[in-house]
Structure formats: structure tokens, C-alpha cells
């Protein structure tokens, strides 16, 4: 047993068993089934199901590890999928007989998952085929809609452990695939045009068209080049123009604006040259630039394809809720919920709308909204705000406000959420590019004017004008930030830190103040320091306590169960189990009565409820109070060191908490100053605190939080960092996600972001050197197309190599060990 249990009992000697299905150590009583050991009923049921259908090959695949099915599943959970309006939105295709649905299954994790999910037709013949897309964690199932309903399908894959994730976003329907394919078409077409234009420009590069017969051939080549560049200009490059135009309409210049301008100038001058037959144009450079830029962006986006940041609070809400109408239960989509409806909320279900409690008592877990760990008791007639989770028995509620008007969405609709950080703080690249494009344009125009008006040579004037625009084409500049940030994103990703995009990395490099949230951020979720105070308990008593605690879904019970890891819970049935919400639980173990709960519950008025910073669970066996468990939230072990490193580097550190100031004395030395610790903060107060830091003290704030309750603050901060131990299931409104145990590397991450900005500036300097070199020739009118054509890719390649190598070196420096 762990030392933090005061060493009150001996380490129980029992053999370690591993579950045949899920591969986890069996914590409780082992279930023997078909000569294999299982950790729980769920796992053995899945095994049975697979065996029945001759699918045990699953276990033969290397690294196979089954998933224990979700215990919170209840039959009828997916009934709402059969509602015509929801089915219609989810199905990709249907002809009344065959239907196809693409389900997101976040739990697939290995090759055996792929195998099993593609063998679904052996589990149910109504399923015609299923095809997995592993990177997207999706399975596309074609099934006979007349034989199996969508809800039964979802139930089937839930039963084998792969619960599909269905959110309102899916139901509202979004098509990403189309976009991805369009992008590939554009790359393919621009690559095709680029290669062929290069080939047709060879004679031009080497001055082959001197004779008259070659001249006509040269004309043909020019016309072919023009024809090939039309789809590049009008189709492949359309995104640059659209983005630049929408930025212009919003009255600012984005990174695409100078690119669009350069592309337009090059295209128009080339067109002019072809029509007047004064030159061959620069279609090769045009197609090449578009091709390389598209590739750069494709890889940048691909790095992040796996993570969807576009989820909002709606992804946390249930899609449907049970509504009682004339005594009958129906599942209704929450968007159809009207005030006055009576809804039934089961154990562990989220309350989707503000409502009045009709049942006599409810125990609401608001940890999702306020961060408070202990559930709050509510009585009939009380108003319950959306976002709480019911724990315990099902409760009936009367809806007060429709979903879009409730408390959570109000918080969400705060100004902060409407604001787009990206547009306000332009990136370094965009800022430099803005000046750059203005300067280049000025130089080009000046050159043109000098040649045309002073030196009276219009032909050279045009040549010098276009070559200077071309040589100075900002694509090397664009590439420098695209490739540096793209590479940094993947380097961060390897260390399980996932910034949302390049903008987030740049803002991260400017951070000077770090604000921590408490619950779930610096404390570990579902893990607490547990100490037993009182007369030592025997092994048998511990078994009783664990077996009893398992029955309850109260957070304290769950923590207790988790802490009693090494104790084997018995499957012996407890009789007369009783749970009094807000008080405790009791049951009979044979003839022994076991009670767990508050001091009052175990029946001792003489015991005073302690008021120190921990939760207490009293234990009474047969009416004898044996003592109490003290549960203290546990801080991430690396917290102190991380904060210290940050402070040494001159970062301001603050703590915001929605909890009571219980651990103030403990945390004060870590954060150095009591004034940097704020407790009892409501979500709005957190938001205002950040706003105040930013506006009154001109700080760049990094907010580290975990969930909805600090969503406003995350959004308001310059960089909102969400701590999550499961990246598929993270908080909305953040700019970056980090895995809990990687939080210690935060200073290193910030340093790497800073190095990234330096690398971008350096590569800007390199490409400026190229530009100055090329421009001097271009202005003097000496630059021939062949040198311009060679200079451009060479500069781009140098930039790509430089940024990739240096950013990898920087990452090795900061993220070593």
C-alpha cells in the first residue's frame, strides 16, 4: 500500500493479473471466462461477442489492446439518432435501402482497431462494409437501412468498445473533404503547368530564337505558356486573391496581399509582353511561385489535420435530451427544447439548459463550469444552470430558457469570443511583408520612371519594372515564415504541445506573464492525496470500503476507489445499498453495516467537521466510527519547478482559482507573493483579471486553463493554453493544447517560439540579400529572364533549407531530454 495511506496496513499479497481483452492490470476481482482473465464484465462481454463471431484474430495482431466499453452507456442512449432530422444530417448517402454514414471514433488507436472495425459485417450481416480512415479516426459504414437502424449501429460499435462521437457540429454538417481535394487539384494543376512552361521557356533562357523561323516557334511557345498559365492564375491562385481581397475589405493587409499584388503584376506584364510581342513574359516564375506556395501551405495544414480546433461549447453538450410528454419518454434534439418542457436528466448527463428542478433533490456537479470539485445539492424548485452534471438518480426538470439563451452561452457570447485575435495582432511576416511590398512597388515604379522619362528607353523601362517586381517576389519571405512555423508546429507536436497555428506560436514568443488556473491545471484531475486518520483498517475492512465506494458515482467515492488501487474489490453483493445524496452511502456486508460519508451521516454528532483544506470521508463499521479519509487535491509534481524557472526568466506568474482559498498557505511560497493568488473567481472575474493585466499593465498574457469555466479567460488572453490529458477531448477557445505531464516544458516551449521568430527574421535577412542583389541588376536593366528564373528557385530553396535546419537545431537545444 502507498505510503500516503500512512502505512496503516500491510501490502496485500495477491498475484497481478492482466486483462485478456484490454491488457490493463486487473484491479478488482478477476473474472475467469473461457480460460482467460478479464478485468471487468465489459471486457469479457466484448471477448464473448468477438469469439461468437469468430473474430478472435483480433487478439493475434501485434499490439492489440481492446477497449473496455464505457460504463456510463445506457440502452436508448442513441435512440435520438433515429429521429429523421438527425439521421438525415448524419448520413452521407441513402437510397432508402443502402445508407452510408461516416462516424468519428476517437478511441481507435492501433492496427487491430482497424481490423476489427473493418470486420463489422461479420458481427451483423446488415452491415455491408466498413472502411476505416485512421488519421481522421473515422469509420465509413455502409449498411442496409431496412435491417438495422442507425441507433442499433451506434450501439453495436459501442458494445465492442468503440463509442462513436456524435456532436452537434456533426449534426449541423460540415464538409472538409471537398476542401482537401480541391487543394490537391490545385497543386497538381499548378505543378503540371509549371513543368511544361519551364520546358517551353528553355529556348528563351538560352537565347535560341534568333532566326526568323525560330521566331514563329517562339511565338507559339509564348501562346502555349499563356494558355498553361491561365488555369494557374485563375484557379490555383484563387485562394490568394480571395484572402487578400477579404483582408482589404476589412481594411488591413494580410500576408496574401503582397503575393496577390505580385502575381497580378507579373501576370499583367507578361500578358502585355506577349500581346505586344516585346518579350516572352514570366509565366514560368508565376506558375513556379504558385506551385511552391501551395505545397508549403498544404504541408502546414496537414500537420494539423488530426486536431480540430473548431469545436465550441456545443461539442460538450449532449445532442439530445429525454423529454417527458404525457408520461412518455422521447428523445428530442436539444435545439428543439422549448421552455416549459419537462426533461429527464440521468446520472452523469449534462444539463443542457437552465431549468427548474421538479424532483425533490438533485446533486449537481458543476466542476465543468466553476471548477468546484464537490457536487452541490439542490432542492425542488431551485433553478439549475446549464452546464452542471447530475450525479446519482435521474431527475426531472422544467426548462426555463432555451439552449441558446442559457448561462453558458451567455458567457460564450461575451465580446471576447466575438473578437478574432489573429486580425488584431498581425504576424511578424505580415508586418514585414507590408513594408516590403510597399518598398518594392516604390522601387519598381521609380526604376520605371527613371528609365522611361530620364533615360528615354521604354523597352528597358518595362523590363526593369517587371524583373524588379519578380526578383523581389515576396515568396521567399512567405516561405520563410510558412516553413519555419510549419516545422515548429510539428516539432511542438512531437512533444505533445499543439499550438493552433502559426499566429499562436508568434504570440507565444511575446508572452511575459503566465496565469495558471487551479482545478485540473495545476492539480491533477481525479487524483488526490488520500490519508486515513484513525485506527488502522484491516485488509477485510478495506475491501468492504472499496466495494461500497465503487457503487457510488460521487467524485469523492471515485477518488477513494482510485486510491485503493491495490485493494481487491469483492464481487460479493452488498445488500441494502443506500445512497443519501449530499450525505453518504451505506450497505450491509453480510451482517456488517458499512457507512461512508459525512460526519453527520456516520452518526456522530460529537465529531466536529474539520475545516481545514480537505474533504473528509468518515468510515463507520457496525456503528463504530473508525476514522476518516482525508482527500486533498494533488498538485502536479513539476509545478513548483516550472513556476520557479518562469519566475527566474522574468515572467510574472499568477494563480486564478474558482475554488475556496484552502491551499493559500501552500501555494503562496510557490508563486512568491500572496497578491498573485486569487481565489473564489467566477468565470467573468477571471476574464476581467486577464483584461486588466493586458490593458492596465500592458502585459502579454498566457493563460493556462482546462475547460469551459475559464474559456472566457483563455479566449481573452494573448495565448490560451488548455491542459488536457486527452487531445481528442480538449477544451474549446484555446490557442494551444498541452498534455498535462508536458507542462513542465512550458519555459522551453516559449524559448523555442522565440527562437522561431529569430529564425524568421534571419531568413528574411537572407532573402533580402538576394533581393538587393537581384534588384541592383534588375534596376540597371541588365537582368535577363534566365537569371531571374534561376535566382528565384535558388533563393526559395536556400530559405527552406535554412529554416528547416535552424529550427531543428533550436528544438534540439530547448527540448532535449
Partner 1 sequence: MSALYLLIIASLLVALGFLGAFIWSVRRGHFDDDYTPSVRILLDENESGQTVSK
Query: What beta strand segments (E) does 462-561 contain?
Result: 497-499, 513-517, 523-534
DSSP 335-389: GG--TT-EEEE-TT-B--S-EEE-SSEEEEE-TTTT---S-EEEETT-EE-TT-E
Q: What are phi and psi of 131, to 5 degrees?
A: -125, 130
Residue 184 vs 797, nearer CB to partner 1: 184
Residues 424-427: contacts with CB within 8 Å, 24+ apart? 425/503, 425/506, 425/507, 425/718, 426/252, 426/254, 427/255, 427/481, 427/502, 427/503, 427/506
The minimum distance between CB 184 and partner 1, in angstroms, equals 5
Residue 12 vs 125, nearer CB to partner 1: 125
Other Cβ atoms less than 10 A from the Cβ of 338: the count is 10
The minimum distance between CB 166 and partner 1, in angstroms, equals 21
Separation between Cα atoms, residue 300 and residue 478, nearest integer Å: 12
Residue 113 vs 350, nearer CB to partner 1: 113
Residue 227 vs 805, nearer CB to partner 1: 227
H or E element, residue 461: helix 458-471
Separation between Cα atoms, residue 604 and residue 399, nearest integer Å: 40
Cell digits of residue 783: 537582368
Residue 129 vs 339, nearer CB to partner 1: 129
Residue 189 vs 477, nearer CB to partner 1: 189
Residue 231 vs 793, nearer CB to partner 1: 231
Other Cβ atoms less than 10 A from the Cβ of 387: the count is 26
Separation between Cα atoms, residue 561 and residue 530, nearest integer Å: 11
As to burial, measured by CB atoms within 10 angstroms (0-12 exposed, 13-18 middle, 19+ buried), residue 216 is exposed
Nearest to 631 by CA among 728, 722, 535, 528: 528
Separation between Cα atoms, residue 78 and residue 93, nearest integer Å: 20
> Contact, 145 vs 128, CB < 8 A?
no
The minimum distance between CB 626 and partner 1, in angstroms, equals 42
Site of interaction with partner 1 (CB under 8 A): 20, 36, 50-51, 54-61, 64, 111, 114-115, 118, 132-136, 177, 180-181, 184-185, 188-189, 192, 195-196, 199-200, 213, 217, 220, 224
What length is written for the chain? 817
Separation between Cα atoms, residue 461 and residue 549, nearest integer Å: 86
Residue 193 vs 779, nearer CB to partner 1: 193
DSSP 720-789: EEEEES-TTS--SS-SEEEEGGGGGGHHHHHHHHHHHHHHHHHHHHHHHHHHHHHHHHHHTT---HHHHH
Q: What are phi and psi of 390, to 5 degrees?
A: -75, 135
The minimum distance between CB 225 and partner 1, in angstroms, equals 12
Q: What are phi and psi of 416, to 5 degrees?
A: -55, -40
The minimum distance between CB 718 and partner 1, in angstroms, equals 35
How would you list the strands of the sheet with 328-333, edge to edge?
A: 328-333, 320-325, 342-345, 395-399, 355-357, 383-384
Nearest to 653 by CA among 754, 525, 522: 522
Residue 56 vs 772, nearer CB to partner 1: 56
Residue 202 vs 245, nearer CB to partner 1: 202
Query: What beta strand segments (E) does 229-327 contain?
Result: 320-325
Cell digits of residue 599: 460526519
The minimum distance between CB 227 and partner 1, in angstroms, equals 10
Residue 102 vs 604, nearer CB to partner 1: 102
The minimum distance between CB 566 and partner 1, in angstroms, equals 24
Residue 58 vs 671, nearer CB to partner 1: 58
Report the SS3 class of residue 167. Answer: coil
> Contact, 752 vs 492, CB < 8 A?
yes
Residue 191 vs 740, nearer CB to partner 1: 191
Residue 110 vs 358, nearer CB to partner 1: 110
Q: How far is CA 803 from CA 105, 288, 290, in A?
A: 37, 20, 20
The minimum distance between CB 216 and partner 1, in angstroms, equals 9
**Measured on CA atoms in the order 34, 37, 42, 47, is the torsion positive or negative?**
negative
H or E element, residue 218: helix 212-231
The minimum distance between CB 238 and partner 1, in angstroms, equals 17
Separation between Cα atoms, residue 711 and residue 369, nearest integer Å: 9
Separation between Cα atoms, residue 498 and residue 639, nearest integer Å: 20
Report the SS3 class of residue 707. Answer: coil
Residue 96 vs 135, nearer CB to partner 1: 135
Report the SS3 class of residue 12. Answer: coil
Residue 206 vs 420, nearer CB to partner 1: 206
Residue 111 vs 347, nearer CB to partner 1: 111
The minimum distance between CB 31 and partner 1, in angstroms, equals 16
Residue 116 vs 430, nearer CB to partner 1: 116
Separation between Cα atoms, residue 479 and residue 470, nearest integer Å: 15
Separation between Cα atoms, residue 712 and residue 411, nearest integer Å: 7
Amino acid at each position: 500500500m502507498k505510503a500516503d495511506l500512512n502505512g496503516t496496513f500491510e501490502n496485500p499479497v495477491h498475484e497481478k493479473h492482466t486483462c485478456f481483452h484490454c491488457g490493463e492490470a486487473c484491479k478488482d476481482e478477476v473474472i475467469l471466462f473461457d480460460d482467460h482473465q478479464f478485468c471487468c464484465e465489459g471486457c469479457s462481454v466484448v471477448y464473448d461477442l468477438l469469439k461468437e463471431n469468430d473474430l478472435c484474430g483480433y487478439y493475434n495482431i501485434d499490439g492489440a489492446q481492446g477497449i473496455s466499453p464505457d460504463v456510463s452507456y445506457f440502452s436508448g442512449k442513441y435512440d435520438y439518432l433515429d429521429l429523421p432530422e438527425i439521421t438525415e444530417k448524419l448520413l452521407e448517402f441513402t437510397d432508402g435501402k443502402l445508407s452510408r454514414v461516416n462516424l468519428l471514433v476517437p478511441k481507435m488507436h492501433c492496427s487491430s482497431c482497424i481490423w476489427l472495425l473493418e470486420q463489422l459485417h461479420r458481427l451483423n450481416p446488415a452491415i455491408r462494409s466498413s472502411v476505416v480512415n485512421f488519421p481522421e479516426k473515422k469509420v465509413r459504414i455502409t449498411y442496409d437501412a431496412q435491417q438495422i437502424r442507425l441507433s442499433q449501429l451506434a450501439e453495436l460499435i459501442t458494445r465492442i468498445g468503440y463509442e462513436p462521437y456524435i456532436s452537434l457540429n456533426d449534426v449541423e454538417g460540415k464538409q472538409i473533404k471537398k476542401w482537401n481535394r480541391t487543394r490537391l487539384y490545385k497543386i497538381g494543376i499548378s505543378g503540371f503547368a509549371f513543368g511544361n512552361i519551364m520546358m517551353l521557356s528553355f529556348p528563351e533562357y538560352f537565347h535560341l530564337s534568333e532566326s526568323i523561323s525560330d521566331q514563329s516557334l517562339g511565338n507559339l511557345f509564348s501562346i502555349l505558356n499563356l494558355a498553361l498559365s491561365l488555369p494557374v492564375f485563375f484557379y490555383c491562385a484563387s485562394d490568394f486573391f480571395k484572402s487578400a481581397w477579404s483582408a482589404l475589405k476589412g481594411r488591413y493587409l494580410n500576408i496574401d496581399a503582397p503575393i496577390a499584388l505580385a502575381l497580378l503584376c507579373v501576370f499583367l506584364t507578361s500578358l502585355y509582353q506577349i500581346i505586344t510581342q516585346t518579350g516572352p513574359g514570366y509565366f514560368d516564375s508565376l506558375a513556379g511561385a504558385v506551385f511552391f506556395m501551395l505545397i508549403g501551405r498544404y504541408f502546414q495544414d496537414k500537420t494539423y489535420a488530426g486536431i480540430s480546433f473548431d469545436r465550441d461549447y456545443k461539442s460538450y453538450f449532449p445532442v439530445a435530451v429525454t423529454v417527458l410528454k404525457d408520461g412518455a419518454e422521447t428523445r428530442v434534439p436539444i435545439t428543439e427544447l422549448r421552455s416549459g418542457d419537462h426533461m429527464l436528466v440521468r446520472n452523469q448527463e449534462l444539463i443542457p439548459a437552465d431549468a427548474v428542478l421538479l424532483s425533490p433533490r438533485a446533486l449537481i456537479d458543476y466542476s465543468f463550469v466553476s471548477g468546484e470539485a464537490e457536487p452541490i445539492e439542490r432542492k425542488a424548485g431551485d433553478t439549475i444552470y446549464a452546464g452542471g452534471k447530475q450525479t446519482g438518480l435521474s431527475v426531472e426538470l422544467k426548462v426555463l430558457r432555451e439552449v441558446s439563451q442559457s448561462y453558458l452561452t451567455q458567457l460564450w457570447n461575451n465580446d471576447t469570443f466575438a473578437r478574432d485575435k489573429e486580425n488584431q495582432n498581425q504576424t511578424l511576416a505580415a508586418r514585414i511583408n507590408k513594408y516590403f511590398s510597399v518598398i518594392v512597388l516604390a522601387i519598381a515604379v521609380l526604376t520605371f520612371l527613371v528609365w522611361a522619362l530620364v533615360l528615354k528607353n521604354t523597352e528597358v523601362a518595362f523590363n526593369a519594372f517587371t524583373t524588379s517586381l519578380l526578383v523581389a517576389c515576396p515568396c521567399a519571405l512567405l516561405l520563410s515564415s510558412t516553413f519555419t512555423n510549419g516545422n515548429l508546429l510539428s516539432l511542438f507536436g512531437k512533444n505533445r504541445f499543439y499550438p493552433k497555428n502559426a499566429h499562436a506560436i508568434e504570440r507565444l514568443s511575446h508572452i511575459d506573464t503566465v496565469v495558471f488556473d487551479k482545478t485540473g491545471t495545476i492539480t491533477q484531475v481525479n487524483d488526490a492525496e488520500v490519508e486515513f486518520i484513525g485506527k488502522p483498517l484491516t485488509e477485510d475492512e478495506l475491501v468492504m470500503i472499496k466495494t461500497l465506494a465503487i457503487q457510488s458515482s460521487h467524485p469523492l467515492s471515485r477518488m477513494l476507489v482510485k486510491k485503493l488501487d491495490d485493494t481487491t474489490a469483492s464481487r460479493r453483493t452488498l445488500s441494502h445499498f443506500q445512497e443519501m445524496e449530499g450525505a453518504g452511502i451505506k450497505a450491509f456486508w453480510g451482517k456488517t453495516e458499512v457507512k461512508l460519508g459525512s460526519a453527520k451521516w456516520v452518526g456522530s454528532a460529537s465529531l466536529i467537521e474539520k475545516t481545514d483544506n480537505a474533504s473528509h470521508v468518515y468510515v463507520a463499521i457496525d456503528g463504530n466510527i473508525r476514522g476518516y479519509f482525508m482527500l486533498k487535491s494533488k498538485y502536479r509534481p513539476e509545478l513548483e519547478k516550472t513556476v520557479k524557472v518562469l519566475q527566474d526568466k522574468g515572467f510574472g506568474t499568477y494563480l486564478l482559482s474558482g475554488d475556496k482559498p484552502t491551499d493559500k498557505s501552500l501555494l503562496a511560497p510557490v508563486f512568491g507573493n500572496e497578491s498573485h493568488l486569487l481565489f473564489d473567481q467566477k468565470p467573468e472575474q477571471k476574464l476581467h483579471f486577464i483584461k486588466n493585466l493586458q490593458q492596465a499593465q500592458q502585459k502579454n498574457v498566457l493563460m493556462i486553463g482546462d475547460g469551459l469555466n475559464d474559456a472566457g479567460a483563455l479566449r481573452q488572453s494573448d495565448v490560451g493554453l488548455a491542459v488536457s490529458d486527452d487531445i481528442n477531448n480538449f477544451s474549446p477557445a484555446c490557442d494551444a493544447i498541452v498534455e498535462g505531464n508536458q507542462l513542465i516544458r512550458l519555459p522551453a516551449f516559449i524559448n523555442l517560439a522565440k527562437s522561431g521568430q529569430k529564425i524568421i527574421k534571419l531568413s528574411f535577412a537572407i532573402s533580402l540579400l538576394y533581393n538587393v542583389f537581384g534588384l541592383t541588376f534588375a534596376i540597371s536593366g541588365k537582368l535577363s529572364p534566365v537569371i531571374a528564373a534561376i535566382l528565384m528557385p535558388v533563393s526559395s530553396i536556400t530559405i527552406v533549407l535554412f529554416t528547416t535546419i535552424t529550427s531543428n537545431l533550436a528544438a534540439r537545444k530547448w527540448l532535449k531530454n
